[in-house]
Amino acid sequence: MKRAVSATMRTAPPAARFRRTLSLYGWLYVFILPGVVLLFLFAYVPMLGVQIAFKDFVIYKGMWSSPWVGLKYFYFLGDPTFWQSFINTIAITGLRFLFGFPAPIFLALMLNEVRSDPFKRMVQSLSYLPHFISWIVVSYILYTFLQMDTGPMNMLMQSLGMKQVNFMGVPAFFRPIVIISAIWKEIGWGTIIYLAALAGIDPQLYEASMIDGAGRFKRILHINIPGIAPTISILMILSLPGLLTAGYEQIYPLVNPTNLGVSNVLDVYLIRLGLTQAQYSVATAIGLVLAIVNITIVLGSNWFAKRVGQTGFW
């Protein structure tokens, strides 16, 4: 019956197919309509502002009346400050990706092997609770914990006979602090997705492997990891564009004059140009170039994932 309906739908005129689709799935379209409208208003309409990168934008003239100046404001490509912020961003996001991306995978694999449900639920709750804490609060916790004289970290070091360290004032400690705090805050939230993927693995595979004498490590290596490989592939593709986004809300509260050489990332650089210095055209030009690079990364990573036999978006 379903095949007959499908064949009839394929041979029907477009208008008839459209009416038939609405009659079958009308309420589903109604449910997704608010999301489509919000996506259009907040993701596609703002794309009109890209033209500011090619205009001498003046606020009182508006976006449409400002004169065109071509590539005048793309001079930032020769600005040493831009490249310094670019290098700082890549250094932070690269290390955060290197250590932060596999962290929830390892935690999910370990939790999946826990047989005590109360302990497993407790660890899950404690691990993803920091996700709901604002970065402003996290930065305050970091400042309090790492404070020079009264911070618990320095007090512990002093009790062990070690010298106190001004962690927030030494540039060498800035990147480790950012990376460790990012992992602590998001590791539990990312684990939820991988635990859901692990729950979808066929239990018969475990039973067959145990009959064959496979130990726990072998089951993880040959069943769990291949089972969640498509999820890892999709999340990796989604994560790679983040290499150009260090996270303004995380970085900016930790910025101070002593660590400015390593904390001046692209997010902070753009905010200062656009809001503090009112250089809207330059900031838009930088944002446009970064968007193009992000699209290239997504397309390239999706192509590579499909090339090596993993799951991609299309």
* CA pair distance 114, 119, nearest whole angstrom: 8
Are 66 and 242 contacting, i.e. CB atoms less than 8 angstroms apart? no
Are 183 and 99 contacting, i.e. CB atoms less than 8 angstroms apart? yes
What Cα–Cα distance (Å) separates residue 172 from each residue in 89, 167, 176, 263, 284? 15, 9, 8, 11, 31
Helix-helix angle 171-199:135-145, to 10 degrees: 130
Are 180 and 173 contacting, i.e. CB atoms less than 8 angstroms apart? no
Helix-helix angle 280-307:225-239, to 10 degrees: 160
Are 222 and 209 contacting, i.e. CB atoms less than 8 angstroms apart? yes
DSSP state of 55: B
* CA pair distance 240, 69, nearest whole angstrom: 33
pTM (two decimals): 0.81
* CA pair distance 249, 136, nearest whole angstrom: 7
Helix (H) or strand (E) holding 28: helix 14-39
Q: What is the pLDDT of residue 12?
A: 65
* CA pair distance 168, 151, nearest whole angstrom: 11
The tens-digit pLDDT sequence of the chain (314 residues) is 445 445 555 666 777 777 888 788 888 888 889 999 999 999 888 888 888 889 888 888 888 888 888 888 888 888 888 898 999 999 999 999 999 999 999 999 999 888 888 888 898 888 888 999 899 999 989 888 888 878 888 888 888 888 888 888 888 899 999 999 999 999 988 898 999 899 888 888 888 888 888 788 888 888 888 889 888 888 888 888 878 888 888 888 888 888 888 888 888 888 888 878 888 888 888 888 888 888 888 888 888 777 777 766 66
Are 218 and 113 contacting, i.e. CB atoms less than 8 angstroms apart? no
Are 163 and 177 contacting, i.e. CB atoms less than 8 angstroms apart? no
* CA pair distance 135, 65, nearest whole angstrom: 39
Q: What is the pLDDT of residue 5?
A: 47
The backbone torsions φ and ψ at residue 101, rounded to the nearest 5 degrees and listed phi first, read -65, -45
| Amino acid sitting at position 114 | V
Q: Which residues contact 161 (CB under 8 A, 6 or more apart)?
A: none
DSSP annotation string for 76-92:
GGG-HHHHHHHHHHHHH
Rg of the chain (C-alpha set): 26
Domains assigned to the chain: 1-51 (no CATH), 71-307 (1.10.3720.10)
DSSP state of 220: I
